[in-house]
Structure 1
Amino acid sequence: MGSGQQSSSPGAGRRNTRRALVGIPAALMVLAVVCFASLALGARPISLETFIQAFTGFDPSNGDHAVVHSRIPRTVTGLLVGAALGVAGAAMQGVARNPLADPGILGVNAGAALAVVAGIFVFGVTQLSGYIWFAFAGAALAAVLVYGVASMGREGATPVKLALAGAALSAGLSSLMYSVLVTNQDTLEGFRYWQVGSVSGRGWDLIGQVAPFIAVGLVLTLFTGRILNNLSLGDDVARGLGQKVALSRAVTALGVVILCGAATAIAGPIAFVGLVIPHMVRALTGPDYRWILPYSMLLAPMLLVAADVVGRFVAPPGEIEAGITTAIIGAPVFIWLVRRRKAAGL
């Protein structure tokens, strides 16, 4: 990962900066439209007049007003989870210098899933509010284990060692989890609803539990743009620039763990958001993480909320959960991006 990954000239860097500055207001406008669609659209059609009245003169006895208000926590959950996954995915790709990095590479999803299974099987947890803390603890513990294993040896936590340790731990934890599920039908039934990945059915109580963690994770990770830019040049170059590589990776990894753990805890494992969005952003901003991170925070919730809206219309009168829809949308988009750009520079 050499310096050739950075802007090839000062002129190219200025063009990327101008493009990024212009794109932020446009991204905010599109995000606002997507949020409006999330509140207004669904299996039950709501007229624009009724939609406005639901906010200007809310009537609890009006079913349409109640439907609109019931979609607010669902939309807020999509915004929070999308922002967390987008920023975490971008930072994870930067700290691991791996263009295919996502919450699975650090064992986050596997750790969270195993902890939820343990909560159901051992402690009899049946409510989503109880899953949250097990999922968060499992995600954090798995990431710490991966980083600890990868840090062993003289070279420390290199990108290759992080990927190998994450893959090995994910395989082990998943095997242990499925060995429990196949022997206990009740645990399997309770786990299936969380595993599919969804932003529906999440109330303000759950949002209130998770939002502070996501806020802390976003603040911590958004300020690592310069760190990730230096790491993208290689460890030796980063050390030559005066950066403490091990500490930098640890700080960034902490932000990633907080974001992934919180997002996975409330919504379940949602694929492709943290993988696809950073690649889309690089097409607009170039390789500068000072732009990639904030753009990922805007575009990822756009994708997740839009996927949730699409899922409401695919199989009426039922719905397809957002975790399934993001995979359906994200897979072909990612293939197109890879074929178009050949190799994304990190």
Structure 2
Amino acid sequence: MILKSNYQKLIGLSFSFLFMLSLIGLSVGLGYANISLIDIIHSFIYFNTSNEHLIIQTVRVPRALIAASVGASLAVSGVFMQTLTKNPLASPGIFGVNAGAGFFIVVAVTIFQVGNLQAFAWISFLGAAVASLSVYAISSFGRDGLTPLKITLAGAAITAMFGSFTQGLLVLNEVALEQVLFWLAGSVQGRKLELLLSVLPYLIIGGLLALIISPKLNVLAMGEDVAKGLGLKLGRIKIVMAIVVILLAGSAVAIAGPIGFIGIVIPHVAKKFIGIDHRWLVPFSAVLGAILLLSADIGARFIIFPQEVPVGVMTAIIGTPFFIFIARRGFNGQ
């Protein structure tokens, strides 16, 4: 069902936002140690050093906020990549952005012994940028230029290459393997609030840029010839779009590691509700991305309780069938 009027879209966005907030509350309350709503409220008003309050403030709240931020960032990155490449399969995970950012962080840890959180963010951005430019350059070669199929194949190749390099470095350095294994699995478990705060400025800048240029994406979606005819500066817009993807996807990988499929699934789900108007698609995708990752993280705590499954495994379980469906529809002309 597509919400047609702006009023309906606003109501839908508001309900989605409230649902996201309720999931944040559930994420704080549910887990190995069940915590009541009263304890959650008291931890903010009358904080003491009890186990419950410490769990809430140092573990559960950062985990929930990180899950929401990462989910929103990956979803908006997927919207921008699909619009830029006109490929329904485009996402940071499929196009090597996550793998490139991950490889650069592993290099920093294994070879240069980098451990600074702020440095992780910049290194992640660099890896995301290198991977993005590599995929774009490789897929632009040939007579037909850039096509959805070529850019998908180039993304798969870059992802495999960086993944192989990453595994090779970790095999040679077992100490580094212990340091980054939790991060490579793609998880929000055990992440500190300081890690989110270290990349928060980049998330805010990327999000604001996404909202500011979202009306121009409606013009770009009509085709480059039409966009040029309407006076759109394509080169400038594409550069800003690339910056948005690098800031959001790079920050998400720096925080939680490579979590896949959110950037594929959420843009298509959002379009089913509000159509292709990017002025609404961007905020809807952000909220729905946060909802998906929060839900996956809550489910990951109980699927093999009392142990936890990395949330990247949960998103893969959800996203793989959807990826196959979109691939068949996208390359077979609907």
Do both share a fold (TM > 0.5)?
yes
* Residue number in structure 2 paired with 1:177: 166
Per-residue deviation at 1:276? 0.6
Check the 8 A contact 1:80/1:211 in 2, yes or no: no
1:68 to 56, 61, 64: 56
| Per-residue Cα deviation, 1:87-114 (whole angstroms, up to 9, x for no partner) | 1111111111111111034421121121
* Residue number in structure 2 paired with 1:229: 218
Give the residue type in structure 2 aligned to 1:283.
K
Residues 249, 126 of structure 1: alpha-carbon distance in 2 compared, 3 angstrom cutoff: closer
Q: Say if 2:194 is the partner of 1:194.
A: no
Q: CA RMSD, aligned part only?
A: 3.0
Normalised by the length of structure 1, the TM-score is 0.85
Q: Say if 2:35 is the partner of 1:46.
A: yes
Give the residue type in structure 2 aligned to 1:55.
F
Q: Give distance in 2, aligned partners of 1:157 and 1:223.
A: 26
Q: Which runs of 5+ in 1 are unaligned?
A: 1-11
* Residue number in structure 2 paired with 1:9: none
* Residue number in structure 2 paired with 1:79: 68
1:262 to 222, 244, 251: 251
* Residue number in structure 2 paired with 1:103: 92
Check the 8 A contact 1:74/1:199 in 2, yes or no: yes
Normalised by the length of structure 2, the TM-score is 0.88
* Residue number in structure 2 paired with 1:319: 308
1:195-214 correspondence to structure 2 within 5 Å: 195-214=184-203
Q: What secondary structure does 1:304 align onto?
A: helix
Check the 8 A contact 1:126/1:190 in 2, yes or no: no
Q: What secondary structure does 2:301 align onto?
A: helix
Give the residue type in structure 1 aligned to 2:277.
D
Q: Percent identity?
A: 40
Check the 8 A contact 2:266/2:288 in 1, yes or no: yes
| Per-residue Cα deviation, 1:243-287 (whole angstroms, up to 9, x for no partner) | 122322121111111100011111100111111111110010011
Q: Which runs of 5+ in 2 are unaligned?
A: none
* Residue number in structure 2 paired with 1:281: 270
Give the residue type in structure 1 aligned to 2:300.
G
1:137 to 119, 126, 131: 126
Per-residue deviation at 1:54? 1.9
Deviates more, 1:229-238 or 1:173-182: 173-182
* Residue number in structure 2 paired with 1:120: 109
Check the 8 A contact 1:16/1:284 in 2, yes or no: no
1:309 to 271, 277, 298: 298
Q: Give distance in 2, aligned partners of 1:337 and 1:148.
A: 27
Q: Give distance in 2, aligned partners of 1:84 and 1:172.
A: 24
1:328 to 317, 322, 334: 317
Q: Give distance in 2, aligned partners of 1:246 and 1:150.
A: 18
Residues 56, 138 of structure 1: alpha-carbon distance in 2 compared, 3 angstrom cutoff: same
* Residue number in structure 1 paired with 2:83: 94
